[in-house]
Amino acid sequence: MADLNELLRLAREQRERSDATSRALAAEATRLARLREQAAGLSRRVDSDDDHQGSQMATLRQAIAESEGRVAGLRRQKRAAVDEWIRISGLLEPVVDPRRAISALDADYPILLFPVRLETRFTSAAGANGARRQLLVRIYPDDCLVDSFEPDLSENEVKNLRRYWCSIWAAGGGESREQSAWRELCSAHGAGRAMSRHEATKKWNGRKVVDDLAARGILIRSRSMRGIAEEAPGAYKDVSEVVNATDRAGLARTVARLEPVICIKG
């Protein structure tokens, strides 16, 4: 099987040559059209007895003939470039098409397919003839399609809860000792998420989250709608409950309530 990097290099070089030929063809075709217009305008007012005008017409006709030759040559180059691109594409197909490339893999090793995330973005890039539109594609591994959420309490969580209730019983109704037990439990477990990212993408749609928050006067800026769904407000524990619990436990004191205005996701 042909080397992928070598084929990609050939394809890139062929694309650059093809683009250069297309630009040269367009420029020469424009020049040819302008020469023909000049010749047509001169022919309408040429005087057969005027040697200077006759010389101008002869010069124009020669320039037109030379330009027609260059246009014809560039068109041949363009067709040849297309034929070469078709040839390279034919060589690339068995390499980049997984249905055909898989036959070249070593059967002694297992294959594991993971999902990938594709993100696209249109941007402007400087070119020989000024700015041109460019499509950027980013490919990186996505979350494995495994929900790691465990509905049962972990061993550590059970141990901390038992310690909490033992402390409550030992407090004998003493408020300070009960607050101390609650403070210890809160310190052992952070606020955290209410569900996994995978579960959040099943429950929320990024576009819907953006619209709902916009209706509340909150702007969202992110490159990924999936990322917004993963970070939906409902995917986290109720912040008011977390703040109130923290305040009751004496870990912090509530002094103000803040409302978001804009959220930027990297």
81-84 own/partner pairs: CB under 8 Å, 24+ apart: 81/14, 81/17, 81/18, 81/21, 82/18, 84/14
CA distance 265 to 260: 14
CA distance 114 to 101: 17
Residues in the chain: 266
User: Could you give the 3-state DSSP secondary structure of residue 135?
Assistant: strand
Predicted confidence (pLDDT) per residue in 123-152, tens digit: 887 766 777 888 888 887 666 554 455 566
CA distance 244 to 254: 8
Q: Which of 258, 255, 256, 244 is nearest to 186 (CA)?
A: 244
Does pLDDT of 178 surpass 80? yes
Predicted confidence (pLDDT) per residue in 44-94, tens digit: 776 666 677 778 888 888 999 999 999 999 999 988 888 888 888 888 777
Predicted confidence (pLDDT) per residue in 1-32, tens digit: 457 778 878 888 888 888 888 889 889 999 99
Predicted model pTM:
0.39
User: Could you give the 3-state DSSP secondary structure of residue 114?
Assistant: coil
CA distance 116 to 140: 6
